[in-house]
Structure 1
Amino acid sequence: MLYYLFDYLEKFDIPGARLMDYITFRSGAALVLSLFIAIVFGRRIIDRLQLMQVGEIIRDLGLEGQMKKTGTPTMGGVIIIMSILIPCLLIGNLSNVYMILMIVATLWLGTLGFLDDYIKVARRDKDGLKGKFKIVGQVGLGLIVGLTMVFSPEVVMRENIEVENVENHEVVITYEPENVKSAQTTIPFVKNNNFDYAYLTQWMGKYAVTGGWILFVLVTIFVVTATSNGANLTDGLDGLATGTSAIIGVALAIMAYLGGNIIYSSYLNIMYIPGSEELVVYMAAFIGALIGFLWYNAYPAQVFMGDTGSLTLGGIIAVFAILIRKELLLPILCAIFFIEDLSVIIQVAYFKLTKRKYGEGRRVFKMTPLHHHYQKAGNTVPALIQRPFIPIPESKIVTRFWIVGIMLAVITFVTLKIR
C-alpha cells in the first residue's frame, strides 16, 4: 500500500519519495512496525484471550512448575501472524512472486494451526486436529510452493561460475548473462555450492530436467512438513521456539539479502536470484514480530503461541529457505528443530521395538521432545540416557538452546566458504 503510494509520489519529485526503492529502508521500517504492533496490540489480544478464557490445557507430566502454566492464554500465534502481515501489506511489493508466496504460506499454515488450537480449546481436546489433516495441509502448501516455482516465469536464477586467470592464478566469479529457469539449489562443501536436482534424474534421458523438477517438488513437500512439525515440537518451553526461530530468521534474512544482490553473491560465490531481495522485507517483519512476541512469551510466559504460531513459524522458515534455494542448508541451520523431531521418532520406535521383543516398552530419553528430557530428575524414569541427574531450570534450557542456535547459524555461513 505505502509502497505503491511512494511509487506514485516519485512522479512529482517529492523529497523522500524514493526511500521505498531501498530494501534496507523498507526492511528496517518493517522490523520496527512489526515490533510495535506485537508489543502494543499484543497486550490487547492477550487481554481478550483471557476474557474469552482461551487457556492452555496442561497435562501433568511431573515437570517442575508445569502445572502453574494451566490457564495461560494460548493461540498467541495470532499476534505473530498479524505483526508479519500488516507491515508486508503496507511496505512490501505485492507484485513480487516471492512476497506473494510467503504471504500465502503464512495464511495457509496460520489457518491450519488456528483450527488445531480451536478444537483444543472449544472441545477441551488436548489432541486437537488429527495428525493426518495437518499432514494434508502441509503437503498442500508444499505443492503450491513447489509448483509455483516450477511454472512461474518470475522464478529464475543465474548460476555462479568460477573463471581462473591462467597468468596469475586468480579466480574471478562471473554469472551467466541471462536469467534461467533451473532446479538448482545451494549445497555446502562442493565447488560453486550449486546442486541441480536433475543430476539425480539423468537416467531419465531427455526427461531428466522434468524429473529434476518433480524431485524438487517432492523435496519441497518434505522440507515444509519436517520443518513445520519440528517447530511445533520445539514449542514446549517459554520462549524456546520464539527465540530459536528469530535466530534462524536473522540468518535467512542475511542470505536473502546477499543472494538478491549480484555483487554480494559474487563475493560469496553463490547463485544470484533476481527479485529475492524482496524477501528481506518479509523476514524483517518476521524477526520484529518474534522479538515483540517474546516480550510476553519469555519465561514466565504470559501467552503461548499455540499451534497457530508454531506450525506457521516452521512453515515460514521452510518456504523462505526454499525460495532462496537454501533448503539443503536447513539440516544445519534448523538442527534444533530436526533433533526435536528425531528424538520423538527414536523414542517411539525404540519403545515399540522393545515392547514387541520384551513385552514391555523401554525408553531412550526420559521424555520427549528432547527439551523435556533435561527437565526430568535423576532416576525417576527408566531410560537409556539418564544425564542430567539434576533437572535443569526451564529458563536455562531455553538460553542454552538459543546459544546452540546462534552457533548453528554461524556454522551454516561457514559451510558456504568450505569446498
Structure 2
Amino acid sequence: MLYYLFEYLDKTLNVSGAGVFQYITFRSGLAFLLSLLLSTIYGKRIITFLRNQQVGETVRELGLAGQNEKAGTPTMGGLIIIFATLLPVLLFAKLHNIYIVLLIVTTLWMGTIGFIDDYIKIFKKDKQGLKGIFKVFGQVGLGIIVGSVLYFSPAVTVLENASNSPVIKQSNITSVAQAPIEVKSTATTIPFFKNNEFDYAELLAWTGDGYQNWAWLIFIPVVIFIITAVSNGANLTDGIDGLAAGTSAVSVLALGIFTFLSGNIIFSNYLNIMYIPNSGEMTVFIAAFVGALIGFLWYNSYPASVFMGDTGSLTIGGIIAVLAIAVRKEMLIPLLCGIFLVENLSVVIQVTYFKYTKKRFGEGRRIFLMSPLHHHYQKKGYHESKIVTRFWIVAIMLSILSIVTLKLR
C-alpha cells in the first residue's frame, strides 16, 4: 500500500526522494526489517495469547530424550510467520503483481489448512488432526489454482531468447538494445546443463501439430505434485526445535537470489538464464518471509517457547514450492530442499521396508531407529540442538551448490 502512496507522491506531486520506493532492493530491505521486528516483538504477545488459550502441544510417547518436557508448549506458532510476512508484503509490495497475488493466496490457503489441522488436534483432542485425504484435497486445490494461473494468465510470461539480446555498454551504463518478445511458455530450467531450458509441452510433441495448446495437461499435474511433496516435506521436517524454520530460511534466501536475478534483464542476460518479467517483485515477499522465519527462530530455537504446528510447516512448504515453480527452478528443489527430501524419503523407506519384511518374514523390520531422519539421530543419542545445527550446515551447503548452478553447466 505504501508503494502506491509513494508512487503518487513521486509521479504526481514530484516529492523529492519518494522515487526510492520504485527500487525492489529498498522495499525488500524494509520488508525484511519490519517482518523481523514484528515476529520478535509481537511474536511474544501471540505466544502469550496461545498459552492463555491453552493451545499446548500434545506429546506422543516416542521414547526420545527431553520429549516429555515439551508437553504444553504453545503450538500454532505459524500464525507469527504468516502475520509477520503478510503485513510487510501488503505495505511494500506491488499488490497488483500476479506473483505477489499468488504468494498471498498460497500463504492464506496453506495456513488455513494447517490451522484447521492444529485446531482439531488441540481443541477436539484428536491426535490425528485433519484427515490426510482432506489435506491432500487442499494441496491439490492450491496446485490447480497456481498451475492454472501460471499457465493461462497473460501476466505470466518469459522473454524468448533473452540471453541472445544484444547488450550495449556505454560510459558505465548497461542497457538492452532490443528487448525480445514476451511469450507464454511452460519452459523450465534444467540445472547443470548448457542450453538448459526444457518445455513441458515437448512431452506432448508426439500428438502432432498444436500440441502446445494441451501443455496444461502436463504442467498443472506437475505443479500439484510439487506443492504436495514440498509442503509434506516441510511438515515432516518440523519435528525438533528450530529445524524447519532454520533450514527453510536458508532455502528461501537462495530462492530470493534466483528471483532477483531472473527478474532483472541485465543480470539474467549476463548469467544466460531465463528472464521472467515482473518476477523480481517476489523478492519483496521473500525478504519478508525470511525475516519472519528468522524472527520466529527467536522463540523456536532450543528450548522452544512455541512450535509452528501445521499452521506454519504446511505454509512454509507451499510458499517454497510456489516460489520455485514461479521462478522456473522447480527442478532444483531436490537439491535446494535436500533436507525436506531426505526427511520424506526416510519415512517412505522405513514404512515400505517395514511392510515388506512383515509380509515376507512375519515381523516388520526397520532401517532407521525411527523416522523421520532427525528422530533417528535422536535415538542414537545426539542432542537435538546438535542435530539442528548440523542440518542447518547441510542446508547452507545445498543452497550454495544450488546458486553455483547459475554458472556450473
Q: Does 1:243 align with 2:246?
A: yes
State the match for 2:407 in structure 1: 417
Determine which of 191, 196, 200 is the counterpart of 1:197. 200
Residues 1:261 and 2:264 aligned together: yes
Is 1:287 the counterpart of 2:290 in the alignment?
yes
C-alpha displacement of 1:210 = 2.7
- Separation in 1, partners of 2:301, 2:202: 46
| 1:415 Cα offset (Å) | 2.3
- Alignment-mate amino acid for residue 388 of structure 2: V
TM-score, structure 2 as length reference: 0.95
Aligned residues of 1:227 and 1:314 also touching (Cα < 8 A): yes
Secondary structure of residue in 2 paired with 1:363: coil
1:195-216 superposed Cα distances (whole Å, 9 cap, x missing partner): 1112221111124213333211
Instruction: Name the residue aligned to 1:397.
Output: 387
CA–CA distance in 2 between the matches of 1:292 and 1:95?
27
Matched ranges for 1:321-340 at <5 A = 321-340=324-343
Structure 2 counterpart of 1:168:
none
Once residues 175 and 265 of structure 1 are traced to their aligned partners in structure 2, the CA distance between those partners, rounded to angstroms, is: 15
* CA deviation map 1:279-322 (0-9, x unaligned): 00000000000011000000000000000000000000000111
1:129 corresponds to: 130
Give the direction of change, closer, same or farther, for the CA distance of 1:41–1:162 in structure 2 (3 Å limit).
closer
Compared with structure 1, are the counterparts of its residues 242 and 224 closer, same or farther at alpha carbon in structure 2 (3 Å cutoff)? same
Q: Does the CA-based 8 Å contact 1:162-1:174 persist in structure 2?
A: no
Decide which of 302, 316, 319 is 1:316's aligned counterpart. Answer: 319
Q: Distance in 2 between matches of 1:43 and 1:403?
A: 28
| 2:398 paired with 1:371 | no
Question: AA paired with 1:214?
Answer: L
Moved more, 201-210 or 57-66: 201-210
The residue number in structure 1 matching 2:2 is: 2
Counterpart pick for 1:408 among 398, 403, 409:
398
Normalising to structure 1: TM-score of the pair? 0.93
Letter in 1 for 2:7: D
Quick one: which amino acid aligns to residue 382 of structure 2?
I
User: Which residue in the other structure is 2:77 paired with?
Assistant: 76
Shift in Å, 1:6: 0.7
**Residues 311-367 of structure 1: CA deviation (Å, up to 9, x unaligned):** 000000000111111111111100110111111011111111111111111111010
* Aligned counterpart, 2:170: none
State the alpha-carbon separation in 1 of the partners of residues 141 and 217 from structure 2: 15
Task: Using the TM superposition, give the Cα deviation of residue 164 of structure 1 relative to its aligned residue in structure 2, in angstroms.
Answer: 12
Match of 1:113 in 2: 114
User: How many aligned positions are there?
Assistant: 399
Residue deviations 1:54-100 (CA, integer Å, cap 9, x gap): 00000121111111000000000000000010001111111000000
Matches within 5 A, 1:44-83: 44-83=45-84
* Aligned pair partner of 1:206 in 182, 205, 209: 209
Structure 1 residues not aligned, in runs of 5+: 166-172, 378-390
Give the conservation status (yes or no) of the 8 Å contact 2:116–2:130: yes
Asked if 2 retains the 8 angstrom alpha-carbon contact of 1:161 and 1:174, the reply is no
What is the root-mean-square deviation in Å for CA atoms of aligned residues? 1.6
Deviations 1:258-289 (CA, angstroms, capped at 9, x unpaired)? 00001110121100000001000000000000
Residue identity (%) = 61
1:114–1:308 Cα contact (<8 Å) kept:
yes
Taking the aligned partners of 1:109 and 1:90, their CA distance within structure 2 comes to 22
Which residue does the alignment assign to 1:85? Answer: 86
